[in-house]
Amino acid sequence: RVSRSAVVNAATQQSPAGLGFNSHKPVSDVPDSLCRPDDGNADTQMRQKFERMCRAAQNKICAAIEEIDGTKFREDAWTRDGGGGGITRVLAGGNVFEKAGCSLSVVYGSMPAEALASATERGADRAKGIKPGERVPFFACGLSSVMHPRNPMAPTMHFNYRYFETDGGVWWFGGGTDITPAYLFEEDMRHFHGTYKEVCDKHDPDFYRKFKQWADEYFMIKHRGETRGLGGIFFDDLNDRPAEDIFKFSTECANAVVDAYVPIVAKRKDMEFTDEQKRWQQLRRGRYVEFNLVYDRGTIFGLKTGGRIESILMSLPETTRFEYDHHPVAGTPEAKIMDCFKKPRTWV
Amino acid sequence: RVSRSAVVNAATQQSPAGLGFNSHKPVSDVPDSLCRPDDGNADTQMRQKFERMCRAAQNKICAAIEEIDGTKFREDAWTRDGGGGGITRVLAGGNVFEKAGCSLSVVYGSMPAEALASATERGADRAKGIKPGERVPFFACGLSSVMHPRNPMAPTMHFNYRYFETDGGVWWFGGGTDITPAYLFEEDMRHFHGTYKEVCDKHDPDFYRKFKQWADEYFMIKHRGETRGLGGIFFDDLNDRPAEDIFKFSTECANAVVDAYVPIVAKRKDMEFTDEQKRWQQLRRGRYVEFNLVYDRGTIFGLKTGGRIESILMSLPETTRFEYDHHPVAGTPEAKIMDCFKKPRTWV
């Protein structure tokens, strides 16, 4: 494991992945694939396939968000020296959304064995056979998104689906979708979790129970002993069955985002709310920032590998509050949802 | 070095220092000393002496801030199992300050040798003679403060002065005061840096040059290649001369806070400003949060040692903004100060 302060060399603006933070070239015409052209052969076909899946999901999800918001996403695409690139879409100052981002990235890099280990949940296995100090060339492709609505009754949603492959042929999938309301509407949580349970159940009767628990553990703000939100599903290092099966599962998870989330936003976006309720939402968004900057594996991985900073940090909410020693008053809706953050519940 | 996610065990709420996040007991009467009673002997006299200095400085600085604000600090004091405790003062929703905090803490704990190493700048030296995996009992006392004014023309100020001692008799001092304006007033920077240069020059002709540069390097937001603010002084691991001399230097630095900072606030607090200027201030406060949660050694140390979370995170500004891909327009005051963040300047 490496410390976060050790991962980036400020003087040279170089990350241990050998890529610089300044190595992103904006492009106006996005190439059909951001993968290297020789990644289409039998051994590496999952690379292009996963990218195609992510791009289709990005189009579908952004179209649904644009429709409900009435505002268009801004798009920034870039390529990188050495292969790879990305497409970031951000909708800021929308009618429904304060800030919504959805970003595709394709990364070719190399990491010290220790960094590879810390990039995954059970990382030791992934770096097996690699000597300490040795660099491991890798490929990574992922689609990441965070949507922060204006209305405090409408929850924030995050998802990420990703595929990793080292040049040594070790591969795994990771991902998940999770929801972060400021106020609890049990029917919304049943809908959200129920949608993902249905997707999970089609693939493995154990997936939902396992990945729901994983989300509750992963999205824990450890220094506060409370979760960021009300969970969903989360998995990492998944390679215990044929890649094709996990690819199908990931695809269906990504495609379930619209059904799981947009009906909830539609139901909550025009509800009345007070300044006090907006303030509570912003306080919870402060906690969102605490989680993302201190614990989130994707954020840390992005900083470690010289990712495009604006794309990594698009996840941060537009407005937040940090108040000293804030505690909701017992018996209020704020206290009710705080109980759920302190002790994760079962929704379906 | 240890990773940040490894430092806290969420299940037990125990930190590697052997102290729990829940081990703080509020007290209404603050004892005369938060040090263990047997810390007054010849070997450990600096412990109580440094605490007394911090408490006097806390009183002096808070009184000056209360006077200019017209509002009182709230005080929370606590003790901890196994010795130590703290006094946190926070002024929120003031007339001049959005949020101002000043916190004393006295910590007895033990850290894995690796954590001790990562708690300091040139940590390897401090853990010398300690086998990997071995725990090192330590004492730490420090006074920490961040003041965030409302008016975007008035800068944020941070200082921290601390003393560390391991039970093996290794000791060192650390600290610094730095300033974070959203708008550049060169005369203010000359006043602030000039005040600290004067204090430094009394002790060592090389101190200001060295510690000014150290601040410019330390307060770097590495993933952005820009500093958090416009620096000041910063030092760590200082033990190259008699403890008494460094104690005197630290005392004078802490006592210079009011002279260095309050006249600037007095001059700027009632200036007119626009919504756009407030927004820029909040954007810079978003960067402040990025630095503190990703890089700040005091914050990381606090999380590692099971510190009182509300005291550690009182440094975060009350309101912040995070905007995607924001760049100030060339030629504006925002662009002018951004140039200083990108390329630290000499002020005196």
Q: Give me the interface pTM, i.e. the ipTM.
A: 0.90
pLDDT in tens, B229-271: 999 999 999 999 999 999 999 999 999 999 999 999 999 999 9
For chain A, what's the residue count? 348
Tally A–B CB contacts below 8 A: 118
The reported pLDDT for the residue numbered B4 is 31
CB interface of A with B, residues 276-305, below 8 Å: 282, 286, 289-290, 293-295, 303
Q: Which residues of chain B have pLDDT under 70?
A: 1-22, 115-129, 305
Nearest CA of chain B to the CA of A191: how many Å? 29
**Which pairs count as long-range contacts for A133-136, CB under 8 Å and 24+ apart, including other chains?**
A135/A18, A135/A110, A135/A111, A136/A110, A136/A111, A136/A112, A136/A166, A136/A167, A136/A168
Q: Say whether A295 and B5 touch across the interface (CB within 8 A).
A: yes
Q: What does the alpha-carbon distance between residue A16 and residue A204 come to, in Å, rounded to a whole number?
A: 37
Q: How far is Cα of residue B323 from the mean position of the Cα atoms in its chain?
A: 26
| pLDDT for B1 | 29
In sequence order, the 6+-apart residues with CB closer than 8 A to the CB of B108 are: B36, B80, B82, B83, B84, B137, B138, B139
SS3 B346: coil
Q: Report pLDDT for B336.
A: 98
Res B181: pLDDT: 98
Rounded to a whole number of angstroms, the distance from the CA of A252 to the nearest CA of chain B is 29
**Parts of chain A with a pLDDT under 70:** 1-22, 115-129, 305
The answer to whether B289 contacts A21, with C-beta atoms less than 8 Å apart, is no
Q: How far apart are the first and last CA of chain A?
A: 37
Tokens describing residue A325:
């020693």
CB nearest to B324's CB, from A5, A90, A320: A90
Residue B9 is classified by DSSP as B
**What kind and span of H or E run contains A107?**
strand A97-112
Smallest CA–CA distance, residue A311 to chain B, in Å, is 8
- pLDDT for A135: 83
pLDDT digits (tens, 9 = 90+) for A165-177: 988 788 999 999 9
Is residue A14 exposed (0-12), middle (13-18) or buried (19+ Cβ within 10 Å)?
A: middle
The DSSP letter of residue B328 is P
The minimum CA-CA distance between A244 and chain B, rounded to whole Å, is 32
CB–CB of A290 and B303 under 8 A?
no
Give yes or no for A1 touching B (CB within 8 A).
yes
- Specify the pTM: 0.91
* pLDDT for position B10: 33
Residues of B in contact with A10 (CB under 8 A): 217, 220, 222, 225
**pLDDT value for B14:** 44
Question: In chain B, which residue's Cα lies nearest the Cα of A282?
Answer: B319
Nearest alpha carbon to residue B312 among A290, A284, A327 = A290
What is the per-residue pLDDT for A301?
Answer: 76
Cβ of A310 and B324 within 8 Å? yes
Question: Which positions of A are catalytic?
Answer: 158
B24-27/B74-80 β-pairing: antiparallel
